[in-house]
Amino acid sequence: MYIDLSYTPTSRDLVCEFYVEPNEISMEKACMHIAAESSVGTWTEVPGLRKELIPKVFSIEGNVAKIAYPQELFEKGNMCQILSSIAGNIFGMKTIKNLRLLDVIFPESIVKSFKGPSFGISGIRKILKVEHRPLVGTIIKPKLSLNEKEHAKVAYEAWVGGIDIVKDDENLTSMSFNKFEKRIAETLKLRDKAEEETGEKKIYMPNVTAETKEMLRRAEIVEGYGGEYVMLDIITAGFSALQTLRDEVNNKLVIHAHRAMHAAFTRNEKHGISMAVIAKISRLVGVDQLHIGTFGVGKMRGVKEEELKCKEALTQELFGLKKVFPVCSGGLHPGLVEPLVKIAGLDIIIQAGGGVHGHPSGSRAGAKAMRQAVEAVTQGISLKEYAKKHKELEEALKKWAIP
């Protein structure tokens, strides 16, 4: 019932692409089990099955299969239910040795049942008044151990040096040595000071990740102190928490999404879920910015082709949803700006933690070096040439051994 290689998906279908390695059964039987378990079926025949709800395995090429699910199988606006179907029990079946959800194509009715980004690329560029270059960001380092005033001072040094965006790290929430509300107050106070001194818009992204009610309380604190952004660890918090936050801060706060823990199910090339799928889901639910990696340029493991798919998932036309700003972060420094922009273009946020604060002359000089690298690349000037008249960039290139 589930295999129909002559079937052509319609605009009402949700289509999944899977990498499948069967466990001692044929590829066709394995695909049948996946289609059944992720929809209307079970391990044995039962009465009452509605044939019009049966999904169709319409393509099998090697170990890659495509399945079209009728949209009626899914509750609109409920990402939990959707994932419980297409990425649920199927990963634990004995008949499957390895299974990876490579891609999902959502029908218009499901896409439009979610709010999507409030701001997206265009809204964020409007806030910052920056149109034709990558945005430059940093993460406060060390990620843990600074108190509230120390944290704010490091942020200030980065902003004054030319950084657009400063964010908390993924595991900085409200610590015994750095309380959330005091950190927000101190850091936003110095943000205002940096804006007055530079004449540029500056952004702080505090991490509000916590139990859902506490998460919302922290978002209210940020707004109360004049903040414009919040950051959420969307995988560890969960898509329900993200959706709740999106609904609560609707058009008031930009949501920056960190993907901590994603590699637990995206890293294995044969099993799990691709980051491109996570990117699409995050866009539907409503993030404005999302980490996608550095295309193998930085410290984190990355496959260029996969991360370009993530960027495409965030920025391609999707029934009118706003485009999400791709964030490149992980082991970046000024010397890597040129290859990064060459791969990904100008519509990215380049975030460097150690690549700013590890500069030989300190955080302010590190921020200047990052901004100088972006200016050089945007103007089509080589970093080596630009460094001749910009000492901060020159020092950075020497430290990180860029010839």
Per DSSP, the residues of 373-388 read HHHHHHHT--HHHHHT
Maximum pairwise Cα distance, the chain: 78
pLDDT of 1 reads 84
DSSP conformational letter for 142: S
Q: Where do the domains of the chain lie, and which CATH numbers do they carry?
A: 13-111 (3.30.70.150), 120-399 (3.20.20.110)
pLDDT of 202 reads 98
Contact criterion met (CB below 8 Å) for 57 and 3: yes
pLDDT of 45 reads 76
pLDDT of 17 reads 98
Rounded Cα distance, 219 and 229, in Å: 9
Phi, psi angles (nearest 5°) of residue 269: -70, -15
Could you list the pLDDT tens digit for every one of the 403 residues in the chain? 899 999 999 999 999 999 999 999 999 999 999 999 999 887 777 777 788 999 999 999 999 999 999 999 999 999 999 999 999 999 999 999 999 999 999 999 999 999 999 999 999 999 999 999 999 999 999 989 999 999 999 999 999 999 999 999 999 999 999 999 999 999 999 999 999 999 999 999 999 999 999 999 999 999 999 999 999 999 999 999 999 999 999 999 999 999 999 999 999 999 999 999 999 999 999 999 999 989 877 665 667 888 999 999 999 999 999 999 999 998 899 999 999 999 999 999 999 999 999 999 999 999 999 999 999 999 999 999 999 999 999 999 999 976 5
Active site residues: 141, 258
**CA angle in degrees (0–180, nearest 5) for 199-147-165:** 30
pLDDT of 302 reads 60
Inter-residue long-range contacts of 170-177, CB under 8 Å, 24+ positions, other chains counted: 170/207, 170/209, 170/233, 170/258, 170/260, 171/143, 171/144, 171/260, 172/140, 172/143, 172/144, 172/207, 173/207, 173/208, 173/209, 173/210, 174/210, 174/218, 175/144, 177/145, 177/146, 177/147
Residue type, 96: I
Contact criterion met (CB below 8 Å) for 347 and 141: no
pLDDT of 298 reads 66
